[in-house]
Amino acid sequence: MADADHAAWRRHLGEDVEPAALRERLTAGTLSACFAATAAERGDAPALEVDGAAASHGELDDRAARVAGFLRGRGVARGDRVLLCAPTSLELVVAYLGTLRAGATAMPCDAALTADELAHLLGDARPAAAFVARDAREHLDRVGRVTTVVAIGGPGDGGPALADALEARAIAPEPDPGPAMLAYTSGTTGRPKGVPLTHANVLASIRGAMLAWRWTADDVLVHALPLSHQHGLSGVHATLLAGSRAVVAGRFEPAVLCDAIAARRATVLFAVPAMYERLDEWEGIAGADLSSLRLAVSGSAPLSPALAERIAARLGQVPLERYGSTEAGLDVSNLYDGPRRPGRVGWPLPGIELRLAASESGDEASGGEILLRGPQVFGGYWHRPEATAEALSEDGWFRTGDLGRVDAQDGSLEITGRSKELIISGGLNVYPREVEIVLEEHPAVERVAVAGVPSERWGEEVVAFVVADGDLDAEALIALCRERLSAYKCPKRVVVLDELPVNRMGKVRRDALATMAGDGGD
């Protein structure tokens, strides 16, 4: 382990740590056994509220134990996959916790998947059971294959519903469970890949962040993130490990979120940059009482320095930006006690080792590919040996595909882009993020994504896709870039769009952009 990483952990923890002891502290136990231990201690304490439906730690534990008993009764065994495909609800969380407790592997999926997308995942993962809402049920029936299908959010159309599963006999957590999860990558650049995550992976990821962010049983978390993604689930994990409380909204609405923060005196907020953007634009934000928040976390996509500053003016704090991925969990974070420099994601979280691979282009300014290693990091893609060999070295380093630069003075990390998003224009490398940061400063730019569009002359040409705030003068935008960037990095064209194509986590879908260059006009 590099000395620099050790020093970074010390900064986060405020104490010296011996790597082997830290590893044990991060990975010990299973999620279900830890959640059960919390429930034994704080059974009556409120745990979770989802769109008004609430349960205490003890109630969640009892329901998870019954759902686990139901799955066991249906022959679901250790490591069998269990599909979870429904909009956010308390029932969905109970189904997830029951799956973990049975020692099976939860497979959380976005409730809005199309029939084709779901068919791909079912063929890939072959789940033994499924907890689904009505829409997904129709897709499932068409594809067939899953033997036990439990309805969530309503009656079971002849089959069992979650209420029936809750009638089963409670069972204790499986002592030697299979992988906790088969998570799927968000697939913004290709078909989603399955990422098996062990209980130790998931525990290390959230415990490292909880230590760094000083999480306690008194915390109250609010978020409106989908529970089909690690970001949203990590809030549930932290809550059930600490015995704290979480309020989750099924849909993001600034007013609803801010009301929940004020009503529950929330101390922690999890959100993605697109949500901070909408909070900042919401006319009620000035009157909202957000004074209870001790920590506002941003992750999953780049937080622009300009937005970080606007949010700081609203919340009285720069959001704490952190960086992570499905494959490697929560990896890098700014320090709880600051400094929080917008544009920087901070230092490796406890347990994580970070290094940069030498840049293939030898281009100093873009830094190198971010490599991560530690108990948080997965052990290989599901049934994809080639993708695994590409992504993981034999000694456990994960190639993230993200590019970064480490500050020579303080060792903090800046994300400069993704290697797959690299534009090669006239033989020269252009990193979209560098151009986006300049454009984000222009007052008429509400959101921007820069991408390469095939061009006979340049191979690829740099194009800026902009959502405008008022009148937008494309020439002025290009001129701003020319002041700040080398000519080859400046957009050749500006395409104005009503919305950027994004997935549910607010990540721009680069695959969709290039096709919009032709019909967006300029």
> Which residues contact residue 457 at a Cβ distance below 8 angstroms, ignoring those fewer than 6 apart?
426
Q: Are 449 and 465 in contact (CB under 8 A)?
A: yes
For the record, the structure tokens of 301 come out as 């996509």
Q: Considering the complex, what minimum distance in angstroms separates the CB of residue 517 from ligand AMP?
A: 22
By CB neighbour count within 10 A (0-12 exposed, 13-18 middle, 19+ buried), where does 461 fall?
Answer: buried
Q: Where are the alpha helices (DSSP H) in 102-253?
A: 115-125, 134-143, 162-165, 199-212, 230-242
Extract the runs of DSSP E, i.e. beta strands, from 249-336.
268-271, 295-298, 320-325, 329-333
User: Which CB, 105 or 503, lies closer to ligand AMP?
Assistant: 503
Q: Considering the complex, what minimum distance in angstroms separates the CB of residue 331 from ligand AMP?
A: 9
Q: Considering the complex, what minimum distance in angstroms separates the CB of residue 503 from ligand AMP?
A: 8
Q: Considering the complex, what minimum distance in angstroms separates the CB of residue 188 from ligand AMP?
A: 8
Q: In this structure, what are the phi and psi dihedrals at residue 87, rounded to the nearest 5 degrees? A: -60, 160
Only one residue has tokens 């002359």, namely: 457
Contact residues for ligand AMP (CB under 6 A)?
Answer: 185-186, 230, 299-302, 321, 323-326, 345, 400, 402, 415, 418, 505
User: Which CB, 9 or 276, lies closer to ligand AMP?
Assistant: 276
User: Which CB, 66 or 229, lies closer to ligand AMP?
Assistant: 229
Nearest by Cα to 306 from 471, 450, 438: 438
User: Which CB, 198 or 326, lies closer to ligand AMP?
Assistant: 326
- Read out DSSP for 72-106? HHTT--TT-EEEEESSS-HHHHHHHHHHHHTT-EE
H/E stretch holding 369: strand 368-373
Please give the C-alpha separations between residue 99 and each of 67, 119, 246, in angstroms, as whole numbers: 7, 21, 20
User: Which CB, 431 or 458, lies closer to ligand AMP?
Assistant: 431
User: Which CB, 142 or 420, lies closer to ligand AMP?
Assistant: 420
Report whether the peptide linkage leading into residue 339 is cis, meaning its omega lies within 30 degrees of zero. Answer: yes
User: Which CB, 47 or 391, lies closer to ligand AMP?
Assistant: 391
263 vs 368: CA distance, rounded Å: 45
Q: Is 9 helix (H, G, I), strand (E, B) or coil?
A: helix
55 vs 202: CA distance, rounded Å: 23
Query: What is the side-by-side order of every strand in the sheet holding 368-373?
Result: 353-356, 368-373, 398-406, 413-418
User: Which CB, 38 or 419, lies closer to ligand AMP?
Assistant: 419
Q: Considering the complex, what minimum distance in angstroms separates the CB of residue 421 from ligand AMP?
A: 9
419 vs 400: CA distance, rounded Å: 9
Q: Considering the complex, what minimum distance in angstroms separates the CB of residue 300 from ligand AMP?
A: 5
Q: Considering the complex, what minimum distance in angstroms separates the CB of residue 301 from ligand AMP?
A: 5
Q: Considering the complex, what minimum distance in angstroms separates the CB of residue 272 from ligand AMP?
A: 9
Only one residue has tokens 């992750």, namely: 299
207 vs 315: CA distance, rounded Å: 26
> Which residues contact residue 88 at a Cβ distance below 8 angstroms, ignoring those fewer than 6 apart?
50, 51, 226, 227, 232, 248, 249, 250, 251
User: Which CB, 46 or 302, lies closer to ligand AMP?
Assistant: 302
User: Which CB, 57 or 229, lies closer to ligand AMP?
Assistant: 229
User: Which CB, 5 or 402, lies closer to ligand AMP?
Assistant: 402
